[in-house]
Structure 1
Amino acid sequence: MGDLGEDWGRQTTVSELPPLAEIQHWTGVVGQAQQMIMEHLVHAMPDAGSLPLPDMQFPDMGAIMGDTTRLVDLQSDAVGDALGLWTALMKGDVEALKAADRDRRFNAEAWRQTPIFDVIRQAYLLLCEHFMRAVDAIDGVEPEVRNKIRFAMRTVTEAMSPANFPLTNPQVLERIFETRGQNLLRGLEHMLADITKGQLTQVRQGAFELGRNIAATPGKVIHETPLYQLIHYAPTTETVFETPLLIFPAWINRFYILDLNQRNSFVRWAVDQGISVFLVSWKSADESIAGIGMDDYVIGGQIDAIDAVRKATGAESVHTIGYCVAGSVLAMTLAYLAAKGEAGKVASATFFTAQVDFEEAGELKHLLSDELMAMLPMLTGDKGVLDGRFLAASFNLLRARDLIWNYVVQNYLLGEDYPEFDLLHWNNDTTNLPGEWHRDYIQALYRDNRLVQPGALSIAGVPIDLTKILTPAYIQAGREDHIAPAPSVWRIMDHFRGDRRFVLAGSGHVAGVVNPPAAKKYQYWTNPAADSFADFVANAVETPGSWWSDWIGWIADRSGPKVPAKGKRVPGKGPLKAIEDAPGRYVRMR
C-alpha cells in the first residue's frame, strides 16, 4: 500500500496511460459485473422475498440547534480536537492516537502504512465522538428519548465508517489490485444472492447438517403437538438424577443453540452429568398456528410439556430452563401453576438471560416504536406470520458493527469465502413467529410492562402475579448482554419470593450462556447477600471459568437420589413411545 499511496498525488501523462491489455481487463470486469446485475434483475427479483423495514421515526435532531451558545461551544471543541489530531499525526504521538488502534475495524496494518488512511480513520472516529457529544448536549428531552437518539446516531455513524467503502478502505484497495478485481465480482455475487433470499449470509451454505455436526446429541422425539416436539435425550451414565430436566429454548431461534456440537453442547454436557434431559423443539410458525397467543405457549406449550415429561418418567416434578423469551413465558407458567395450586409440578426454574420486568430492557426497545406496531399487520401479511428474516435483521441491527458491516466488508468488498462456524449457522437459521403472539408480547411486555403488575395479565382467565412464585429459581445474566441487559434480568430477584440465586456470567446473550467448563473461558460472579444489582456488582466474588459448574451443584442439591438409567429413562421405553430420531422434523421446517 505504501507505493500506491506515494503515487497518488503524481500527475499522469498520456504516455503513462495503462496498456491496452489492462484497459481491456478492467473493462471486462465492469462488463461482467453489469451482466451479473442484469441477470439478477431479470431472474431473481420477481422471486425475492423482500422484507419491509420499519420507519423508526427517531426524534428530530434539529433540537440540537435550539441553543446557539451550546452549538458554538460544540463547534469550537470540534475545531480544537481536529487541530489536536493533526498535530498528533504530524508528531507521531502514539499515545494520542491509541484510541483508533483499539477499534477492531481498523486493526489491519494497511490503515497505518499510508498517512492518508491513518488520517481518514482518525478523523472518522473524531467525527463520531462529536456527533455523540452533540446528542448529549440536547436540552429538554427525556432520558429514554436521548437514548433513542444515541442509538440512531450510532447506527448512522457505524454505516458511515470508511471501512465500509472500497475507496476509503486500504485493505479493499489492496485486494482489488491483488486479484485484479475478482474480489469485487465475488462480492457482487454474494450480495445479489443475499438480496434474492432477503437475508445477510454469514456462513458457508451446506457446511452444517442437522443430526450430523449440529444438533447431534442422540435422542428421540417422544411427544408432538402442532406447536412443538418433545425430545428425550439418551443417557450416557449408569444412573441419573430422579428429577428430570426440561429445557424451553426461545422460539425466536432454533433450539440447537444449546446443542451446537459435542464440545460446547449444554444438552450433551447435562446428559453427561447424569441428568435425564428433555427439550422442546418449537415449530417455526406457519398459517396453521398463526393465531396462537400467550395462553397457548403457557398451557399448550410449557405446561403440556411439563406434564408429558412427568408422564414419561413417572417423576412428580421437573426442573425447567427458560432461555430468553421462553424464560419470560416460564415466569407466567410458574405464576399460573401457583394460582392453580399446581406449583409442585416444577422442582426448580433456571432462567438464561430472561426478563420479566421490561422497564430497562435495553436497546431492543428502540426498535419497538408505535410506528412499528402500526406496521405489524403489513409485516405479518395475509398468513398472520412474522417472517423470521425481519427479526434477524432487527437483532443484527443492535450490533450492526459486528453482525452487519463486518460481513459487508468481508463478503461484498473483500470477496472472502464464507467461514464454517456453527454459531453463525444457527444465527442465520431463522424461524417465523405467530403474528398475534408477537404483537401481544411487544405490547404487553416490552411496551406496557404488564407482567410485573399483579393481575394485569391473565392466562386462560387466571390472573398472573409473579410475587406468588415460590419455586426455587437460578437466574443467569450476561455481563455484556445487549438483548437482555444484566440489570434488567436481575429484577426477577425483586419479584419472585422463593429461594433465588443470581449469577452474572462473562460475555453476552449467547456466549455468556454457551460456555462449557472444558473451554476454560470467561468467568462468573456470585454474591448471595446482595439485595440490589448495584450491591451485587460492588461486592461480587469472581470465579474463573464457566458458571455451568456452579449451576450443576445447585441442581444436584434439588434433584433427589440417583435412579438406574434404564426403562423409562431411556427415550421411547416409557409410556411415551419414540416418534422419530432427534432432532426431529420441526427443527427442519422453514
Structure 2
Amino acid sequence: MAETSLDRRVNATLAKLTGGVSPAGLAVAWTDWATHVALSPERQKEIGLAAFGGAVAASLEDEKADKRFSHPLWSLPPYAAFKTGFLAAQNWWQTALAPMSGFDAKHQRALDFYARQALDMWCPTNFPITNPVVVAKAIETRGASLQQGLKNWLDDLGSTLTGHPRSVPGYDVGETLAVTPGDVVYRNRLVEVIRYHPTQEKRKGPPIFIVPAWIMKYYVLDLSPHNSMVWYLVDQGFDVFMLSWKNPGKEETDLDLQDYLDIGIREPLNWLREEHGIEAVHGVGYCLGGTLLSIAASAYAREEASSPFATLTLLASQTDFTEPGELGTFMTEAQVGFLEDLMEEQGYLEAGQMAAAFQMLRPADLIWSRVIRHYLLGERTEPNDLMVWNADATRMPAKMHTTYLRKLFLENALARRTFKADGRRISLTDIRAPIYCLATESDHVSPWRSVFKLLALTDTDVRFVLTKGGHNGGVLSEPGHKGRHFRVFEKVEGTRFVGPDAWLDTAVTEDGSWWLDWVAWLVDRSDQDVVETEWSALYQAPGTYVFD
C-alpha cells in the first residue's frame, strides 16, 4: 500500500511537469516505431530520400497552404530559408512517421500528434528574431510592440499564478452574459435548475430540459442576448429549464458518473414530476451532457414503461468513441493510469489541465497564434463572449472522470452495450423517443463522423443534422448568422444505413441556421398542454453555482 501511494505521488508530480502526458505511453509508441523502422529497409530508404531533397521539394507545396507564412516578408532572405527549412523538417517527420505494416495505428497517430506539437512549438513564426513580421513591427514602433508584449505576458502570468482569469471589461456573468431572465427553482449538492421566465402567453409543451457539459459553465447556451439559444427558445414559446453544474472540489472527489446521472438528472426530473406535475420533457444535451442524457434515456427506457423524454436532442455529443478524433490519441491504458494518479492526489482534474489538453488539439490556432499576437506583436485579440466563457473552466471529480475515460473512451462500453447504470447493462436501442442529432463540420472535440455513428446504434427515428462551424461556434448558429448552412439526413424505420461519407456525397446543403430546422422539429412533437403551476424562486438566474 505504501509503495502504491509513493508511486502515485511520483506519477502525480511528473504529470504536473508533463502536462498530463504519460512518458511510459510515449516510450512504448517510440519503441514500436523504431523497431519497425529498423526492420523495414523500404522505410529507411524513404526516410533517407526525404532527408536529401524529397522533403524540400514537398515543402514548396506546403508553403502555399500554410497560412503562418502568408505574409510577403517571408519570401525575403534570411526568412525564406527559415521557412523552407521548417517545412522540410515537417515533411521529413511526416515521411518518417507514416503508417507501416505491423506498426500499431494508435501508436502511429500518437507519435504523429506529438511530433506536430514539437514542430509547431519550434516554428520560426514563434520567435521574435526569426519572424520578419515581428521584426518589422518592432522597428516601426521603436520597440514599443515588444514592451507591450512583455506587459501582456506579465498580466497573463499573474492571472495564471493567482488562478483568477484576466478580467475583460464589459463581459460579466449575470450582467452582460447569461442574462436571460429566470430563477433557480431547485438546488441539490450537484446542480441548480434554472427556469426561464416565459415571454409567450400561449406556450408549447412539453418543456425543454437542457443538460450542458459539466466540463465548462452552462452559459455557453446563454451567452449574449443576440446568440443565446435559451433566449431564442423562450421567445419561440417554450418553457425552458437549464442545469447549472457545481464546480467540484475535493469534497466531490468520490462522485461517480452514476451520481451525475442520479443527482444531476433524475432528482430534478423527479422533482418536476412530483412537485409540478411535469410528466415529460424535451431532453437536450450538449457535448458530455448529451452523452450523459443518452445514458439516462437508455436507463429510463429499460426501467420504466413510460420515459420522461418526449424527444431527445444531442448537440455535438458522442455515443461511440472508436473515432473520437485526436482526443483519442491520449486515451491509452498508460495515459489514463497516469491521469488517475494525478487526480487521486488532487481529488479532481484541474480546469487548466483539461483546457491545456483541448488547446493541444489545435496548437497553431489556440496557442502559438496567441503567443505571436499578444506577446511578440504586443496586440490583444478583441475579446468576445465566447472567448470569455471559454476561459471560465471547471474541474472534474476524480472518480467520475476515471469512469468516463475508462468506460467510454478506452472500453467504448456505451456503444458495445456493456456500460452499466444502476448496476445493470443498458442499450441505446431501448430508446424509443425520436432523436435530433447535431454535429458540426470542423469539430475537433466530437468529430462529426463519430457523432454520426448514433444512427447505427439506435432503433428509433433520428434526424441527423451537420452544420457549419466548430464544437462551440457551430452550435451557436443563431438565425441571421452570416455564412451558415446545414445538411440533413432523416433516418426512420426501414431506412437503410449508409456511411457518413456516402451520405455526404449526396446530401443537399441548406442555407441558414439549423436552429430554425430544430424548432420546427420540436414544434411537430409538442402537442401537450403546458402545465401551469406556481414556482418558488431560490435565487435569480444565473444562480450561485456558476460563480464557483
TM-score by length of 2: 0.88
> Which deviations, in whole Å up to 9, do the C-alpha atoms of 1:520-546 show, x marking residues without a partner?
332111132561323322321211122
Q: Once the 2 structures are TM-superposed, how far is the Cα of residue 321 of structure 1 from its aligned partner?
A: 0.7
Q: Structure 2 counterpart of 1:389, which letter? A: G
SS in 2 for 1:518: coil
Query: Which residues of structure 2 form unaligned runs of 5+?
Result: 1-15
In the alignment, is residue 317 of structure 1 matched against residue 280 of structure 2? yes
Instruction: Give the match for residue 338 of structure 1.
Output: 301
In the alignment, is residue 448 of structure 1 matched against residue 420 of structure 2? no
What is the count of residue pairs matched by the alignment? Answer: 520
Q: Aligned to 1:559, which of 526, 536, 541?
A: 526
SS in 1 for 2:352: helix
Q: Structure 1 counterpart of 2:424, which letter? A: V
Query: Compared with structure 1, are the counterparts of its residues 425 and 342 closer, same or farther at alpha carbon in structure 2 (3 Å cutoff)?
Result: farther
SS in 1 for 2:186: strand
Task: Kindly indicate whether the alpha-carbon contact (under 8 Å) linking 2:55 and 2:91 is maintained by their aligned counterparts in 1.
Answer: no
SS in 2 for 1:470: coil
In the alignment, is residue 54 of structure 1 matched against residue 20 of structure 2? yes
Q: Aligned to 1:398, which of 335, 338, 361?
A: 361
SS in 2 for 1:452: coil
1: CA distance, partners of 2:100 / 2:164: 38
In the alignment, is residue 541 of structure 1 matched against residue 514 of structure 2? no
2: CA distance, partners of 1:296 / 1:150: 37
Q: Once the 2 structures are TM-superposed, how far is the Cα of residue 425 of structure 1 from its aligned partner?
A: 1.0
2: CA distance, partners of 1:82 / 1:52: 31
1: CA distance, partners of 2:458 / 2:204: 26
Q: Structure 1 counterpart of 2:511, which letter? A: P
Task: Kindly indicate whether the alpha-carbon contact (under 8 Å) linking 1:361 and 1:485 is maintained by their aligned counterparts in 2.
Answer: yes
Q: Once the 2 structures are TM-superposed, how far is the Cα of residue 397 of structure 1 from its aligned partner?
A: 0.6
Instruction: Give the match for residue 139 of structure 2.
Output: 177
Instruction: Give the match for residue 584 of structure 1.
Output: 543
Q: Higher mean Cα deviation, 487-496 or 58-67?
A: 58-67
Instruction: Give the match for residue 201 of structure 2.
Output: 238
Query: Compared with structure 1, are the counterparts of its residues 80 and 219 closer, same or farther at alpha carbon in structure 2 (3 Å cutoff)?
Result: same
> Which deviations, in whole Å up to 9, do the C-alpha atoms of 1:385-413 show, x marking residues without a partner?
22111000001111111111111111222
Instruction: Give the match for residue 24 of structure 1.
Output: none
Which runs of structure 2 are paired with 1:71-470 in the superposition (5 Å)? Answer: 71-81=44-54, 84=57, 99-112=62-75, 114-136=76-98, 138-198=100-160, 205-311=168-274, 314-380=277-343, 382=345, 384-454=347-417, 456-470=418-432
Which runs of structure 2 are paired with 1:37-52 in the superposition (5 Å)? Answer: none
Q: Once the 2 structures are TM-superposed, how far is the Cα of residue 381 of structure 1 from its aligned partner?
A: 5.1
Instruction: Give the match for residue 10 of structure 2.
Output: none
Task: Kindly indicate whether the alpha-carbon contact (under 8 Å) linking 1:343 and 1:471 is maintained by their aligned counterparts in 2.
Answer: no
SS in 1 for 2:210: strand
Task: Kindly indicate whether the alpha-carbon contact (under 8 Å) linking 1:361 and 1:483 is maintained by their aligned counterparts in 2.
Answer: yes
Q: Structure 2 counterpart of 1:531, which letter? A: F
2: CA distance, partners of 1:120 / 1:226: 56
2: CA distance, partners of 1:404 / 1:521: 26
Task: Kindly indicate whether the alpha-carbon contact (under 8 Å) linking 1:467 and 1:496 is maintained by their aligned counterparts in 2.
Answer: yes
1: CA distance, partners of 2:50 / 2:399: 50
2: CA distance, partners of 1:433 / 1:328: 16
2: CA distance, partners of 1:337 / 1:83: 59
2: CA distance, partners of 1:287 / 1:204: 26
Task: Kindly indicate whether the alpha-carbon contact (under 8 Å) linking 2:55 and 2:92 is maintained by their aligned counterparts in 1.
Answer: no
Q: Once the 2 structures are TM-superposed, how far is the Cα of residue 312 of structure 1 from its aligned partner?
A: 6.2
Instruction: Give the match for residue 40 of structure 2.
Output: 67
SS in 2 for 1:76: helix
Task: Kindly indicate whether the alpha-carbon contact (under 8 Å) linking 1:201 and 1:428 is maintained by their aligned counterparts in 2.
Answer: no
Q: Structure 2 counterpart of 1:62, which letter? A: A
Q: Once the 2 structures are TM-superposed, how far is the Cα of residue 68 of structure 1 from its aligned partner?
A: 3.9
TM-score by length of 1: 0.82
Q: Structure 1 counterpart of 2:443, which letter? A: D
Task: Kindly indicate whether the alpha-carbon contact (under 8 Å) linking 2:333 and 2:410 is maintained by their aligned counterparts in 1.
Answer: no
Q: Structure 1 counterpart of 2:45, which letter? A: V
Query: Compared with structure 1, are the counterparts of its residues 201 and 288 closer, same or farther at alpha carbon in structure 2 (3 Å cutoff)?
Result: closer
Query: Compared with structure 1, are the counterparts of its residues 249 and 51 closer, same or farther at alpha carbon in structure 2 (3 Å cutoff)?
Result: farther
2: CA distance, partners of 1:334 / 1:153: 41
Q: Once the 2 structures are TM-superposed, how far is the Cα of residue 132 of structure 1 from its aligned partner?
A: 0.9
1: CA distance, partners of 2:258 / 2:87: 49
SS in 2 for 1:205: coil
Q: Once the 2 structures are TM-superposed, how far is the Cα of residue 234 of structure 1 from its aligned partner?
A: 1.2
SS in 1 for 2:206: coil
SS in 1 for 2:91: helix
Q: Aligned to 2:458, which of 491, 496, 515?
A: 496
> Which deviations, in whole Å up to 9, do the C-alpha atoms of 1:208-248 show, x marking residues without a partner?
10012111111111110110100111122222102100111
Task: Kindly indicate whether the alpha-carbon contact (under 8 Å) linking 1:320 and 1:349 is maintained by their aligned counterparts in 2.
Answer: yes
Task: Kindly indicate whether the alpha-carbon contact (under 8 Å) linking 2:20 and 2:339 is maintained by their aligned counterparts in 1.
Answer: no
Q: Structure 2 counterpart of 1:165, which letter? A: F
2: CA distance, partners of 1:159 / 1:202: 24
Q: Once the 2 structures are TM-superposed, how far is the Cα of residue 130 of structure 1 from its aligned partner?
A: 2.7
Q: Once the 2 structures are TM-superposed, how far is the Cα of residue 192 of structure 1 from its aligned partner?
A: 4.0
SS in 2 for 1:188: helix
Q: Once the 2 structures are TM-superposed, how far is the Cα of residue 274 of structure 1 from its aligned partner?
A: 1.0
Task: Kindly indicate whether the alpha-carbon contact (under 8 Å) linking 1:228 and 1:281 is maintained by their aligned counterparts in 2.
Answer: yes
Instruction: Give the match for residue 473 of structure 1.
Output: 435
Instruction: Give the match for residue 531 of structure 1.
Output: 497
SS in 1 for 2:537: coil
